[in-house]
A and B are shown apart, each in its own frame.
Chain A
Amino acid sequence: MRSIRWLAGSITLVCALVFIFGVLKAEMATKLMLYLLICFFLSLYRILKGPTAADRSVATDILGILVIGFCAILAVYTGKGWYIDIAIAWALQSFIGTLALAKFLEGRHFDE
């Protein structure tokens, strides 16, 4: 069962990569963003599915770090330098947000 799932997942992934980098006629920036978008969808799946609140918090943290890379790619390929400022501000804000989520998870223990 597990090997069948592994096979299906890897075939889907390879097909997506071949479509993005081989078939699609677009600029390099679009291809890179689509490649990063696969990561976004995987972590969004974990947010939707996650059995406990801790799983959802982890996926939110990872999504926050991915956005920094997305802003950096945008800064290069649009030529607008202020996207990097957004990336720095986003890094600090998502760190504080994750700390708040962690404190929330710790506090839930007491009111059971």
Chain B
Amino acid sequence: MRYIRSRAITFTVSILLWLLLSFSLDWQHLLVGAFAALLVAWMMGDMFAGQPGKWLSPRRYGWFAFYMFVFAWECFKANIDVAYRVLSPRLPINPGIVKVKTTLKTETALTFLANFITLTPGTFSVDIEKESGYIYIHWIDVKTQNIEEASRIIVSKSERILKEVFE
């Protein structure tokens, strides 16, 4: 049952992407798209949607919209920050690699956390250790080297939202 449901989700997502890309409701386009989406769903298996039950709850989509909003605002702030650092004549940087701890477990959540860290002000993820939950972060303006302190400053804000969305 779980087998069929995860393939059905992959099929739906890929045929939606096909419809947006071809942008026509002609029956020939639909036929080719359905064929290609079937092929993709059969080949991917449950790599794309590992736990299909999560895709059906509307609460997660609400939290995801909130996440996108926070992400856009942080991304804009990050760009202003980088522009200030790059254009100022004294080059005010104080870089270093620090280590933080996260409580997220699933791979999708860790990927989105790394993307969030990379596009938010001053931080950049270098490596993830999945078993122990440590992330190595290049910080352009190191404020503290303590693990708990750095975790509180960098990851705690996004971790709460991502836990609602993906776990």
A/B contact in complex, CB under 8 angstroms: yes
A6 within 8 A of B: yes
The interface residues of chain A lying within 8 Å CB-to-CB of B89 are: 2-3, 6
- In B47-103, the 8 Å CB interface with A consists of 89, 91
Q: How far is the CA of A2 from the CA of B89 in the complex (A)?
A: 8
Of the four ranges (under 10, 10 to 19, 20 to 34, 35 or more), the interface on chain B belongs to: under 10
The interface residues of chain B lying within 8 Å CB-to-CB of A6 are: 89
The interface residues of chain B lying within 8 Å CB-to-CB of A3 are: 89
Task: State how many angstroms separate the Cβ of A15 from the closest Cβ of chain B.
Answer: 16
* Chain B interface helix/strand/loop/mixed: loop
The interface residues of chain B lying within 8 Å CB-to-CB of A2 are: 89, 91
- In A43-77, the 8 Å CB interface with B consists of none
Q: How far is the CA of A33 from the CA of B3 in the complex (A)?
A: 50
Task: State how many angstroms separate the Cβ of A8 from the closest Cβ of chain B.
Answer: 12
Q: How far is the CA of A55 from the CA of B89 in the complex (A)?
A: 23
Q: How far is the CA of A3 from the CA of B89 in the complex (A)?
A: 6
Q: How far is the CA of A73 from the CA of B5 in the complex (A)?
A: 41
Residue on A with the closest CB to B87? A10
Q: How far is the CA of A3 from the CA of B88 in the complex (A)?
A: 10
Task: State how many angstroms separate the Cβ of B142 from the closest Cβ of chain A.
Answer: 21
Q: How far is the CA of A6 from the CA of B91 in the complex (A)?
A: 10
Residue on B with the closest CB to A88? B21
A-B contact pairs, 4 of them (CB 8 A): A2-B89, A2-B91, A3-B89, A6-B89
